[in-house]
Amino acid sequence: MPALDTHTIIAVIGAGAMGSGIAQVAAQAGHRVYLHDQREGAAQNGRDSIARQLQRRVDKGKMQQQDLDATIGRIQPVARLDDVADAGLVIEAIIEDLDIKRQLLANLEELCAGDTILATNTSSISVTALGAEMNKPERLVGMHFFNPAPLMALVEVVMGLATSKTVAGTVHATATAWGKKPVYATSTPGFIVNRVARPFYAESLRLLQEQATDAATLDAIIREAGQFRMGAFELTDLIGHDVNYAVTNSVFNSYYQDPRFLPSLIQKELVEAGRLGRKNGQGFYAYGEDAEKPEPQTEPEHQSDETVLVVEGDPGVAAPLVQRLRAAGVTIIERDGPGQLRFGDVVLALTDGRMATERAATEGVSNMVLFDLAFDYSKASRLALAPADQASDTAVSCACALLQRAGVAVSLVADRPGLVIMRTVATLANEAADAALHGVATVADIDLAMKAGLNYPDGPLSWSDRLGAGHVFNVLTNIQNSYAEDRYRPALLLRKNAYAQKGFYS
């Protein structure tokens, strides 16, 4: 479908941060924009806020003054809802309340032409439910921007049960013309991002509750090994725990209390204590004027006389780590085996979802130390290690020394199934696979949504493929066996792909 041309007037209802941001996006794309808010003066304040933000870009030399003037000149605050009647696309960005939104949509149906597209920026309300009382629900589509709208690339184009494919296609093409990266999604709880992202927060919260290590260390591992932009605790502090906890509860309840979405007691306590994050100065971290962020737990320098690393079998995704150690002066000897590393008396292996203590007992290797997944072992600046209870202090020290020779900071974490990055990626891929199975979105759109909407280093399904056919399935199976909980049950599509020995893109 072709995009709406720039002669089409865009109306945005709601002049808060999100509505103003959407108005800015449309105006910068060349559209004349009506900005309306029922609060007196709010639309003008929204326009003024856009002007101030763009002026800062001009002052920094990132924008020309004439472009600012042209953008602001296209935005017209309007006092009455009737004034948006000639818009070709109306985007509502008002309070997340079903009844209030329904009333607005009913009013817009009466005011606007029959071919005007009505879009909702809702992040949590069913598009199908919003359209249920409309005369022409086929004209309603979700157009879910991410905050801040001018900076975030993703737009979820959400189709309700009655949404016209032509309407959805036009909005998708228009979002592309506006410089965004749109994806199609069906109107299911959480759409793509707010559903698939739940494990990113949930697994760090659970590891903290299980005392695997502290929040600062978990965040550092997520950033420095996983190459995520922020750790889960930094991100929830930024979002606000009231908001993040509410979304988690909404998804949990919408899916009939599926344990995959179980909220965290730790986050519940933070909300009850009023520790909401950056917005009020205290969450997992303190944000006062003199507050200092705690340092992650990092092992001091360990020493070892060992100089030879024996690589037993194919190291798989950890092959770049072996090359990094070779470049650091470690002698590498390769021989057949189960894909593990021997350095003196210690055996290092990539986590497969089992605890190190269990693997040590099962495989008859007392000095077993597991290492975590990294997005790119050739660049990771930190790795998590989990020693088996049977491992000697000397073996653990030897494992730390080996990684430190390659310039890797080591964080020892308690022995928990799947460590940190591996269980996070596995559960993200699991949720993404389930969403794909149920037709929420295509595999490619799910991956694009997670990268463009949350700045993930890779889409979870693409990352799953890079780990190898069946790998995530095996990890999840082992984690589920460890906890004996349905929370970690592998998605049917992961199971099928594992037995077919294929990936999501092959």
Start-to-end Cα distance in the chain: 28
Helices and strands (H, E) in the chain, number of each type: 20, 15
Q: How far apart are CA 217 and CA 303, in angstroms?
A: 23
Q: How far apart are CA 31 and CA 390, in angstroms?
A: 67
Measured over the CA atoms of residue 152, residue 154, residue 155 and residue 160, the dihedral's sign is: negative
What is the residue type of 478? N
Q: How far apart are CA 112 and CA 85, in angstroms?
A: 5
364 Cβ contact partners less than 8 Å away, ≥ 6 residues apart: none
Number of residues written out for the chain: 506
Q: Evaluate whether 192 touches 440 at the Cβ level (below 8 Å).
A: yes
**Six-digit token pair at 83?**
């004034």
Give the strand order in the sheet containing 308-312: 331-335, 308-312, 340-343, 346-350, 368-371, 382-387, 409-412
For the chain, state the CA radius of gyration.
26
Closest CA to 335 of 354, 313, 351: 313
Closest CA to 355 of 468, 482, 476: 482
Which residue in the block uniquely carries the two structure tokens 């310039």? 407
What is the residue type of 147? N
Which residue in the block uniquely carries the two structure tokens 């650091």? 328
Known catalytic residues are 123, 144, 156, 194
Q: How far apart are CA 187 and CA 36, in angstroms?
A: 26
Q: How far apart are CA 426 and CA 434, in angstroms?
A: 12
> Angle between the 215-224 and 198-209 helix axes, to the nearest 10 degrees?
140
Q: Evaluate whether 421 touches 225 at the Cβ level (below 8 Å).
A: yes
